[in-house]
Copies of this chain bind each other. A is one copy, B any other.
Amino acid sequence: MRFAVLGGDMRQVELARLLERDGHQVRRFAMEEAGGTPARCAGGLEEAVSGAETVILPVPAMRGEYLNAPLSRERITADELAGALVPGQAVLCGMPGEALSAALARRGVTCTDYFVREELTVKNAAATAEGAVEILLREMPVTLQGARVLVTGFGRIGKLLSLKLRALGAHVTCSARKPGDLALIECLGLTPVPTGELRGRLSGFSAVVNTVPALLLDRELLGELDEGCLCLDLASKPGGVDMEAARELGVRAIWALGLPGRVAPVTAGEAVRDAVYNIINESV
The residues of A with any CB-CB pair to B shorter than 8 Å are 10, 14, 117-123, 125-127, 130-131, 133-134, 137-138, 140-146, 160, 163-164, 167-169, 178-184, 186-189, 263-267, 271, 278
Report 7 cross-chain contacts, Cβ distance below 8 Å, ordered by A residue: A133-B168, A134-B138, A141-B267, A142-B264, A143-B264, A164-B168, A167-B167
Quick check: B118 and A179 within 8 Å, CB to CB?
yes
The 6 closest A-B pairs by CB, nearest first: A118-B180, A167-B167, A134-B137, A119-B183, A119-B179, A126-B187
B-chain residues with CB within 8 Å of residue A266 when the two chains form the complex: 141-142
The minimal Cβ–Cβ distance linking A220 to chain B, given in whole angstroms, is: 26
Give the interface centre of A121, A126, A164, A181 by most chain B CB atoms within 10 Å: A126
B-side contacts of A183, CB under 8 Å: 118-120, 122-123, 271
- In the complex, the answer to whether A187 meets B160 with C-beta atoms within 8 Å is yes
Tell whether, in the assembled complex, residue B14 and residue A141 are in contact, meaning their CB atoms are under 8 Å apart. yes
A179 near B278 (CB under 8 angstroms)?
A: yes
Q: Are A264 and B122 in contact (CB under 8 A)?
A: no
Q: A134-B137, A169-B187, A187-B122 are in contact. Are A143 and B267 (CB under 8 A)?
A: yes
Residues of B near A144 (CB, < 8 A) are: 130
Q: Which residues of B contact A265 (CB under 8 A)?
A: 141
**Contact A182 B140, beta carbon cutoff 8 Å:** no
| B137 and A130 contact, CB distance less than 8 A | yes
Minimum CB distance partner of A140 in chain B? B264
Complex contacts, A10 vs chain B, CB 8 Å: 141
